Structure 1
Amino acid sequence: MFEIIYLSLAILLLVLTLAPLSRAQVWWIRGLDFPRLQLSVLLAALLVAGLVVIRDWTSITAIAAGALIGCLVCQLWWVVPYTFFFPKEVEAVQAGNADERLRIMTANVLTPNHNSDGLLKLVYDFTPDVLVTLESDDWWQEKLDAIESDYPHTVKVPLDNLYGMHVYSRLSLSDVSVEYLIEDDKPLVHCFIELPCGQKVKTHFVHPAPPSPSENEESEERDAELVLVARRVEPEKYPTIVTGDLNDVAWSRTTLLFRKLSGLLDPRIGRGMFNTFHAEHWFARWPLDHIFHSHHFALVSMTRLPGFGSDHFPLLTELALAAHENGANDGPSPDEDDKESADEIVDKAMA
C-alpha cells in the first residue's frame, strides 16, 4: 500500500515540478512558480519516508526516488539564491552619510482592512523617507493624510478595485506621472526622488494584476507590464529603483526576465526570501513585495515589518549611494532568447 501511495505522490510532485518549466501563461501553471520552497519540503519528506519505510526496492520505486531527487534539485535551483547559502548580489554598507540614504516602506494595505492605526504606528516607529501603499482607496487616503505634515510630497491614486496607490514622501518628488501601461485600471507611478545630497533617483512604483481565475486567467498582462517597465529603466543615466507588489515571486522566470532586461539588482539574493505574503498563513508564504535597484546603491538594511491586519507584511528597505560597491554589470543580462521572449510577451498582451 505504501508503495502505491509513494508512486502516486511521486508522479504528482513530478507534474507540479515540470509544469512551470513550460512557457505557458495559464494561471494555474504560473501559480506553481510560487510554492517552490513548500514543494521542496514535500519532496524531501517523501524521499526520507521512502528510505525509512520501503525495504524491498524495485526498479519502479527506485526510478520514483530518482525522479524525486531530480525534482528536489530543480526546485532548490530556483530558491537557493534567496538563502544565506548563496553569494550576495548587493554589497552591504554601514549607514554612512545620511544625505545619501533612502528608506522606502512598501505596504499592501488590503482594501477591506481598516487598521490604519497599525500602519501609521509603523510609519511613526520606523520613519521611512518614502511610504508607498498599494490597494489604498479613498478611505485609506483619508486616514493616511494624517502624515502629510511629515510627508508633504504625495502622489494619490485612490481606487476601489484593489489597485489604488499612494506615495507619501519626506523628500521632494519631480516629473511625477501616473500611467496605465497594459490595463486601464492598473496604475503605475513614475517619479524622481531627490535625496538630501541633491542626487535624483528615478523610481517606478508598480502593482500588476496576478494570474488567477478571479483576475486574469493568464499571466500575459502582468508579464507584459514588467517587461515594459524593465525597458524603460535606464541605470546608465540615473540611479534607479523599482518597487511594489509584483504579484510574482522573486525566483520566477518572469521576474528573472525583468531583471535581465532592466539590469537591476536584487538585495535579497544571498540574504533571504523576506516573504511578505500571506501574512496569516505561515505555511504558505512567498516574496511578492519587491525592491530592485541599480548598481549605484548598496544595502544598509532590509526588514520585513510586523503585520497590521493586511494579508501582506510591509517591507522596509534602506539603500545608500555607494558608487564603487557594485559594478554596472553585476546583475543578470539578457541573451537573444530573452529579448525574443520579451517581444512575444508584449506583442501578445498588446494584441
Structure 2
Amino acid sequence: MIGSNGEGRTAPPRVLHRLAIFVALLSLTALVLGFLGRWLWPFDLLNHFRVHCVAFLVLAAGVLLGLKDWKNGIVAALGAALAAIPLFDYLVPQNPASLPSSSEPSLRVLTFNVWFRNEDFARIADYLATSGADIAVLQEISEHQGRRLHAALEMYPYAYVGGASESDAIVFSRWPIGAAQTVQLSANGVSAIRVTIEWNERPITLVAAHLHWPIGPRTADRRNAELAGLAVLAQSHTDPLLVLGDFNITPWSPHFRAFLDASALHDCARGHGLDPTWPSQLIALGIRIDHCFASAHWRTLDASIGPSVGSDHRPVLVELQLAG
C-alpha cells in the first residue's frame, strides 16, 4: 500500500517524496471511485479524467522509483498500467481492414460546437471552407445564425437549419439533403436532427445531437436517457448511419460503453489518438466529449482534432469509407 516514509531523506527529496505519494493516492482514489459512476453521477465525472490520472501515476512512479521507494513506486506503476488498458484501443492503430480502398470514395464529416458566445462567424466560415469536410454538423447555433453562416459558404449548397431551435444543431452538406426532421430522444431530453443525404447515389443517414451537461443528478439522468434514446434510434436503421455531436461524455464512462453496446455503433476515434476537444482554452488539460460514431457499414480512415476557432470546443474531423 502507498504510504509516506521520509526517513533518511534530506528536506527537498522528502517534500518531493510526499508530493509524489499524495499525487499517486489522489489518482488511485479517483480511479477506484470512478467504478461507482454507473450509479452516482459525481463519481462518473471522475471517469472523464482517466488519461490525466494515468499521466499523474506515471509521473509519481518515476519520482518514487528515482528516490528508491521501490514499494510505492511499483504500486503507482502498476496502477498506471492497469488504468491505461482502456486507452490502448485509442492509441493502437486498428486492423488492416481500416486501410483505404482505392475503388471506394471517402466521406469527410465534421462536428463542431461553435459555442453560443462565439460571434466570429467569419473565422468559422474560413475554417469550414478550408476543412475539406463534405458534411459539417454545428452545435450551439441558432437558425438565424445558421442561415447567416450558410450564406457565406458556397461550397455547401445544401443545409438543414430549421431544427436548430429544438436540437441546438444544424447541418451543412455538399451533397443533397433529402428527408430532414428532429427526433425527441427522451421524455425530458433534447431532440436530435436526423437527415438523409444522397451521397454518391446512395442514401446515408446522419444524426446530429447536443446532449445535456451532466452536472447534477437531474441533468446527468437526462444525458443518460438521451444516450439510451440515441441507441434505440441507431438500432432502428439498417442503412449506413453516422451519429455526430457534443455528447458531454468521454470514452471512459460506463454510460459511454453502454451506449456503444446498445447502439451497435463504433467510436471513430479508436486507433486515432486521445486528443481532447474541450476546453480549447486549456486543451492540454482537456477531455474528449465531441464524437463521431458509425454503423458497421463504415470504416474509419482518419480522425483528427481541428484548431481553435473561437469556441471552447475544438472541431472533430473524420474521414470514412463504406466497408463493402
258 and 144 in structure 1: CA distance in 2 versus 1, 3 angstrom threshold: same
Q: Are 1:92 and 2:70 matched, yes or no?
A: no
Equivalent in the alignment of 1:201: 204
Matches within 5 A, 1:286-325: 286-323=287-324
Report Cα offsets for 1:224-281 as digits up to 9, x if no partner: 2112211222487211111111111123222221111122222322221242222111
Q: CA deviation at 1:108?
A: 0.4
Find the counterpart in structure 2 of residue 212 from structure 1: 215
Residue 270 (structure 2) aligns with = 269
| Contact 1:156–1:167 (Cα < 8 Å) also in 2 | no
How many residue pairs are counted as aligned between the two chains?
Answer: 309
Q: 1:200 to 1:48 in 2, by over 3 A?
A: same
The answer to whether residue 63 in structure 2 is matched with residue 49 in structure 1 is yes
Kindly indicate whether the alpha-carbon contact (under 8 Å) linking 1:25 and 1:219 is maintained by their aligned counterparts in 2.
no
Q: 1:89 & 1:281 partners in 2: Cα distance?
A: 35
Offset from partner CA, 1:157-207 (integer Å, 9 cap, x none) = 344x9x6211122222233221232365622111222112x2111221121
Quick check: 1:105–1:132 contact (8 Å CA) kept in 2? yes
Contact 1:179 1:187 in 2 (8 A): yes
* Secondary structure, counterpart of 1:280 in structure 2: helix
CA contact (8 A) 2:279 2:287 kept: yes
Question: TM-score normalized by structure 2?
Answer: 0.84
* Structure 2 CA distance for partners of 1:137 and 1:182, relative to 1, 3 Å: same
Give yes or no for contact 1:82–1:273 (8 Å, CA) kept in 2. Answer: yes
Tell me the CA shift for residue 15 of structure 1. 1.4
Answer whether contact 1:103 1:317 (CA < 8 A) is retained: yes
CA separation of 1:78/1:89 partners in 2, compared to 1, >3 Å: closer, same or farther?
farther
1:151 counterpart residue number: 157
- Determine if contact 1:91/1:299 at 8 Å carries over to the other structure: yes
> Are 1:109 and 2:114 matched, yes or no?
yes
List per-residue Cα deviations over 1:121-180 (Å, max 9, x = no partner). Answer: 122112422111101125532431314653323233344x9x621112222223322123
Residue from 131, 140, 144 that aligns with 2:145:
140
The whole-number CA distance in structure 2 between the counterparts of 1:231 and 1:116 is 35
For residues 25 and 224 of structure 1, the distance between their equivalents in structure 2, rounded to whole angstroms, comes to: 13
What RMSD over aligned residues (CA atoms) do the two structures have, in Å? 2.7
Q: Is the 8 A contact 2:189 2:225 kept in 1?
A: no
Measured in 2, the distance between the counterparts of 1:184 and 1:89 equals 43
Counterpart residue identity of residue 211, structure 2 = P
Alignment of 1:172-187 (within 5 A): 172-182=176-186, 184=188, 186-187=190-191
Show CA shifts across 1:22-66 (max 9, x none): 2444443111121211111110111111112246x6xxxx3x445
TM norm structure 1: 0.79
Query: Which residue of 1 is the match for residue 175 of structure 2?
Result: 171
Equivalence map 1:38-77=2 (5 Å): 38-54=52-68, 62=71, 64-77=72-85
State the distance in 1 between where 2:316 and 2:39 align: 28
Answer whether contact 2:266 2:295 (CA < 8 A) is retained: yes
> Unmatched 5+ residue regions in structure 1?
324-351
The sequence identity of aligned pairs, in percent, is 21
Q: 1:15 aligns with which of 13, 29, 45?
A: 29
Give 2:242's aligned residue.
Answer: 241
For the 8 Å contact 1:129–1:170, the answer to whether it is kept is: yes
Q: Report whether the alignment pairs 1:130 with 2:138.
A: no
Name the structure with the higher helix share: 2
Partners in 1 of 2:267 and 2:96 — Cα distance? Answer: 7
Deviates more, 1:268-277 or 1:231-240: 231-240
* Paired residue type of 1:253: P
Once structures 1 and 2 are overlaid, which stretch shifts more, 69-78 or 176-185?
176-185
**Larger RCO: Structure 1 or Structure 2 (Cα < 8 Å, ≥ 6 residues apart)?**
1
Query: Secondary structure of the equivalent of 2:186?
Result: coil
CA–CA distance in 2 between the matches of 1:7 and 1:305?
37
Alignment CA distance shift 1:299-1:267 (3 Å): same
Matches within 5 A, 1:274-289: 274-289=275-290
Look up the SS of the partner of 2:204 in the other structure: strand
Letter in 1 for 2:98: E
Distance 1:191 1:152 in 2: 11
Q: List 4+ stretches of structure 1 deviating above 6 A.
A: none
Q: 1:259, 1:265 within 8 Å by CA — same for their partners in 2? A: yes
User: C-alpha distance in 2, partners of 1:13/1:297?
Assistant: 37
Worse-matched range after superposition: 103-112 or 258-267: 258-267
